[in-house]
Amino acid sequence: MYRTVDIEAGEDISPLRAVGVMFTAKDEKTQFLQPCAAFREGCCSAYEGRPSVCRKYRCALLRRVEAGEVSLGEARRLIASTLALRDRVRPELERLAEPQEPLALDGLYRLMFAKLDAAPDRAAMKQSQGKLLLDVAALRVLLAKYFEPRDSESHKAE
Ligand code: SF4
C-alpha cells in the first residue's frame, strides 16, 4: 500500500538496520522503504524494536479481530487472498504504468489510468485491460475496507 513510512524524530532505527531495512530522507524526515525488509515469513523480524509508527498502526481488520467480529483464521485467509491479488496486480500495473521511480499502489493506479486516458485508442485500451481494471478495483476495496487504519493518528505513510 505504501512506498515509504516516516520514522518519528529521534527514534532508534538500529533494530531495523540490523535486519536490512532500507532508509531514505524526505523533508528532513527519515523514512523506511516498503515493502519492509523486516517482514519475513508472515512476521516482523524486528518486532521488539519496531518503530512507533508500526506500534500505532491498527488496521480495520485488526480492530475487527479484537472486537470478535472476525476470527483469526478468517483474518489470515483474507490477508493471504489480498496478498495474492496484490502480487497479481502490481506487476501488471508496473508494466502498464512504466513508473520512473518506485511508486506505492495508489501512485501506480493513477499513472496507469492517466496513460490509458491519454492513449489515442483509450476505449479499446481500457477494454483490453478489463480484467486488470476489475482486479485493481477489487484490491482497492479490500485495502480500504480492511487494511487502512481507521484514525489519522495511527500512521504516517505514503
Ligand atoms: S511492523 Fe511491519 S513495517 Fe514495521 S518494521 Fe515490522 S515488518 Fe516492517
Q: Is the pLDDT of residue 117 over 70?
A: yes
Mutate to test the pocket of ligand 1, among 2, 50, 59 (most ligand atoms within 8 A of CB): 50
Q: Is the pLDDT of residue 73 over 80?
A: yes
Q: Is the CB of 44 under 6 A from ligand 1?
A: yes
Nearest Cα neighbor of 103 from 51, 38, 44, 33 is: 33
Q: Is the pLDDT of residue 154 over 60?
A: no
**Three-state DSSP class for 23?**
strand
Nearest Cα neighbor of 139 from 89, 71, 69 is: 89
Provide the grid cell at 124. Answer: 479499446
80-95 tens-digit pLDDT: 999 999 999 999 999 9
Please state the pTM of the whole predicted model. Answer: 0.78
